[in-house]
Chain A
């Protein structure tokens, strides 16, 4: 029983008793309800009051009786239901009253007990419900039929951030934003009109003020009397679920967009080989009709694609293999009949637990790349062919120093064939040169620091290229050889080293020739020095000779002593010889300059010989030597007339000098292919074969005496210089000592266009 009701009942009884004790018998207690616990007592007081009114005579006794039991009544009225009236009164009225009071107290005591029992049971039930509600994690609230909140659980308090005390008795409009509240009210009203259950999505303002997506699961409840009591609602927060759903949707969009944006054709099949998805590019690359793909069956698509392959059998075989070996990936190049080349890549779709969900096929059109690769391969092959046919011994190594090219020339040079070196590293290329593997020039390319000599007689660097000259003491276990080598790194377009090339040339012959050339050059230089000195000497002799040649004849005129005269004659002759020597030396000097084309004249050779013979008539006469000019009169030569005359003068003088008395000199000429070979033959002392080559050297004399003042020893040297200036050749022939000598030289015949110039006499 509610304590308030008890207190109200006690207060009312107290009031009634007070009025009654003051004699107000007109008082009447109001009986409110069946549940009024003091209703019986109130009725008794009402009866007592009526009885006192009716039996006015006993008013005094009544008042005494009342007073006697007043205290007990008061105790009962104040809740002491154990109070009992003493039943020993002699006054009948009072006794009757006491009996009634005791009966009422007993009844009251039992009623109170029952009420208390019920009250406790209700409290327990209520407590359980409360705990149960608070234990449920979902927010729960309930409302009465006026849509006012009756209560909620702790989850709801936490969810909306409002305590139950603040909530109870409030309408949605007092708590929530207008639109939300209105929506709630509409839904509530609809439900109250049609009791039962209701499920719908809506939003709720969360404790932090944000709106969250929820599902309201609502049901109506009835009072004990069966009337509609209100509604209860369980709230299910679906914000996270919605977010997850949106994320999944986004992922799907992302994937499909990626698939469509891919330059590769993509086909995805599930574990039963049914097509899950494919992109536009796949259709385009394979040229598949759209109706084939609509069926989503892999088999017809596979058949169609297989038919387009250059090698359908192996294509199909590989596909079957991969469908059987679900966990394998594969990458292959496949060729289509239309000329396309595809890079096919396939991977299984595997879950984190390894479960097979299907397979992804990716096809990339690499036709252009392939074509470019082929071009590169062709270019590479061409380069290799070029290397192969290079005249110099050449080899190429890759980045790891493995030989990738070994050309014919190096095979020939080293005796090592391609199959013995190609693909090999570890300085295999050095073995033929040094008999063992060791670094050679190509290996020095890697050294950034200044290159040390490394046993090379010469090494230099131009840009990235190294040059060296190497001496190999025992090449192929044989002769020593000189090699000239160049090595250069091979770089890719980014400047990274991808290999190196070395070319080796055997320069042994060249070196020998070069050494010979240097030796000859040195000799030539020496000869020029001597010649220069000689010319200078010849020039300088002229000045002191001048007084000698002037004065000696003057002296001779005044000498009368025959012996002295002989001595003076020797001096005169010596002076003349010195003058001749000076003249020859001077001539030799003048011949040092080359002939210019304009200086050449066309003359008949026979007339030139005649002139020369006339000049030499005196010296020939001294020895009674006859000379025969056998030169054909029609031979015309292109020469400097004075020089060829000088040549003949020298050759005749020479022939006379080495002829015996009454000797014969023959001069002849032969034509051959525009060249005239002239010969001056004597039947004199002849030449030893060993000196034939030396007779044209400066100051060489066949008799080696060098004391013969008539022959200065420069005559043949002058002839050689003149013939050489005319681009001809001069040489001597002799069958041996005592068998005469023939000097031959060549000169050019006249050109057809040349002007024939007959020397005027």
Chain B
């Protein structure tokens, strides 16, 4: 599993658009149409930056994070929340420590790309043992 970015969103158009955008930038991403699919990818060994939509049917972004933590799948990942409202809600209580950043929809692709490259660099540094700090 060589992809280092996973987008979790129930909206197929967003999944395809983002995948196309990153592809045009030479970045391969995994697209998960549900929280469960995200957990499956993690179980299969994915480690990297997870762009997580908050509002999803059945299992929303916060439920998915809770499952990730419960299943010991968090380590080695950075989670960035994608939110339409931009304001944190009550469900995040106790889970925000697992969230590195929030990005409001519709996102500025240029900004998102630079943020993503930054988080990927951090992950790479952690993997190679270099100390890094998340701002």
- Residues of A within 8 Å of B107, CB to CB, are 546, 549-550
B17, A546: Cβ atoms closer than 8 Å? yes
A548 is an interface residue with CB less than 8 A from chain B: yes
Question: Given contacts A554-B20, A586-B85, A590-B87, is CB(A543)–CB(B14) below 8 Å?
Answer: yes
Shortest CB–CB separation between residue B61 and chain A, in angstroms?
A: 14
- Residues of A within 8 Å of B86, CB to CB, are 586
Name A503-546 residues within 8 Å CB distance of B.
539-540, 542-546
A337 is an interface residue with CB less than 8 A from chain B: no
A551 is an interface residue with CB less than 8 A from chain B: yes
Question: Given contacts A550-B18, A554-B20, is CB(A539)–CB(B84) below 8 Å?
Answer: yes
Choose among B104, B105, B109 the residue that contacts A553 (Cβ–Cβ < 8 A): B109
**How far apart sit A544 and B104, CA to CA, in the bound complex (Å)?**
13
A554, B13: Cβ atoms closer than 8 Å? no
- Residues of B within 8 Å of A582, CB to CB, are 106
**How far apart sit A455 and B105, CA to CA, in the bound complex (Å)?**
62
Question: Given contacts A547-B14, A586-B85, is CB(A542)–CB(B106) below 8 Å?
Answer: yes
A546, B14: Cβ atoms closer than 8 Å? yes
Q: Is the interface of A mostly helix, strand, loop or mixed?
A: helix
- Residues of A within 8 Å of B14, CB to CB, are 543, 546-547
**How far apart sit A545 and B21, CA to CA, in the bound complex (Å)?**
14
Proximity bits, B8-22, A CB within 8 Å = 1, else 0: 000101101110110
B106, A549: Cβ atoms closer than 8 Å? yes
A326 is an interface residue with CB less than 8 A from chain B: no
Choose among A544, A575, A590 the residue that contacts B13 (Cβ–Cβ < 8 A): A544
**How far apart sit A553 and B109, CA to CA, in the bound complex (Å)?**
9
Choose among A554, A557, A579 the residue that contacts B106 (Cβ–Cβ < 8 A): A579
**How far apart sit A540 and B85, CA to CA, in the bound complex (Å)?**
9
**How far apart sit A548 and B107, CA to CA, in the bound complex (Å)?**
10
**How far apart sit A348 and B18, CA to CA, in the bound complex (Å)?**
125
Shortest CB–CB separation between residue A615 and chain B, in angstroms?
A: 17
Proximity bits, B52-92, A CB within 8 Å = 1, else 0: 00000000000000000000000000000000111100000
B130 is an interface residue with CB less than 8 A from chain A: no
**How far apart sit A344 and B117, CA to CA, in the bound complex (Å)?**
118
Complex: chain A residue closest to B12, CB-CB: A547
- Residues of A within 8 Å of B108, CB to CB, are 549
- Residues of A within 8 Å of B84, CB to CB, are 539-540, 542-543
B105, A543: Cβ atoms closer than 8 Å? yes
B114 is an interface residue with CB less than 8 A from chain A: no
Choose among A542, A554, A557 the residue that contacts B105 (Cβ–Cβ < 8 A): A542
Shortest CB–CB separation between residue A397 and chain B, in angstroms?
A: 63
- Residues of A within 8 Å of B13, CB to CB, are 544, 547
- Residues of B within 8 Å of A579, CB to CB, are 106
A545, B106: Cβ atoms closer than 8 Å? yes
- Residues of A within 8 Å of B20, CB to CB, are 550-551, 554
Complex: chain A residue closest to B14, CB-CB: A546
Question: Given contacts A546-B105, A549-B109, is CB(A554)–CB(B16) below 8 Å?
Answer: no
Shortest CB–CB separation between residue B23 and chain A, in angstroms?
A: 9
Shortest CB–CB separation between residue B125 and chain A, in angstroms?
A: 28
Tell which of A543, A545, A553, A579 has the most Cβ of chain B within 10 Å. Answer: A543
B131 is an interface residue with CB less than 8 A from chain A: no
A545, B105: Cβ atoms closer than 8 Å? yes
Name B97-125 residues within 8 Å CB distance of A.
104-109
**How far apart sit A545 and B14, CA to CA, in the bound complex (Å)?**
9
- Residues of B within 8 Å of A557, CB to CB, are 24
Shortest CB–CB separation between residue A124 and chain B, in angstroms?
A: 150
**How far apart sit A713 and B14, CA to CA, in the bound complex (Å)?**
29
**How far apart sit A579 and B106, CA to CA, in the bound complex (Å)?**
7
Choose among A542, A551, A586 the residue that contacts B21 (Cβ–Cβ < 8 A): A551
- Residues of B within 8 Å of A548, CB to CB, are 106
- Residues of A within 8 Å of B18, CB to CB, are 546-547, 550
Complex: chain A residue closest to B86, CB-CB: A586
A550, B11: Cβ atoms closer than 8 Å? no
**How far apart sit A547 and B13, CA to CA, in the bound complex (Å)?**
6
Choose among B17, B87, B104 the residue that contacts A547 (Cβ–Cβ < 8 A): B17
**How far apart sit A544 and B13, CA to CA, in the bound complex (Å)?**
8
- Residues of A within 8 Å of B87, CB to CB, are 590
A546, B106: Cβ atoms closer than 8 Å? yes
Complex: chain A residue closest to B25, CB-CB: A554
- Residues of A within 8 Å of B106, CB to CB, are 542, 545-546, 548-550, 575, 579, 582
- Residues of B within 8 Å of A547, CB to CB, are 13-14, 16-18
Complex: chain B residue closest to A576, CB-CB: B106
Complex: chain A residue closest to B110, CB-CB: A553
- Residues of A within 8 Å of B24, CB to CB, are 554, 557
Complex: chain A residue closest to B104, CB-CB: A542
Tell which of B11, B85, B106 has the most Cβ of chain A within 10 Å. Answer: B106
Shortest CB–CB separation between residue B133 and chain A, in angstroms?
A: 21
Complex: chain B residue closest to A546, CB-CB: B106
**How far apart sit A238 and B84, CA to CA, in the bound complex (Å)?**
131
Shortest CB–CB separation between residue A240 and chain B, in angstroms?
A: 114
B17, A551: Cβ atoms closer than 8 Å? yes
**How far apart sit A449 and B73, CA to CA, in the bound complex (Å)?**
79
**How far apart sit A551 and B104, CA to CA, in the bound complex (Å)?**
17
Shortest CB–CB separation between residue A54 and chain B, in angstroms?
A: 190
Shortest CB–CB separation between residue B34 and chain A, in angstroms?
A: 16
Given A547-B13, A590-B87, 11 more pairs with CB closer than 8 A:
A540-B84, A542-B104, A542-B105, A542-B106, A543-B105, A550-B106, A550-B107, A551-B17, A557-B24, A575-B106, A586-B86
Residues in chain A within 8 A of chain B (CB atoms): 539-540, 542-551, 553-554, 557, 575, 579, 582, 586, 590
A-B CB proximity, top 3 nearest:
A547-B17, A545-B106, A546-B106
A-B contacts, 16 of them at CB < 8 A, read A539-B84, A543-B11, A543-B14, A545-B105, A546-B18, A546-B106, A547-B17, A547-B18, A549-B106, A550-B17, A550-B20, A551-B17, A554-B21, A579-B106, A582-B106, A590-B87
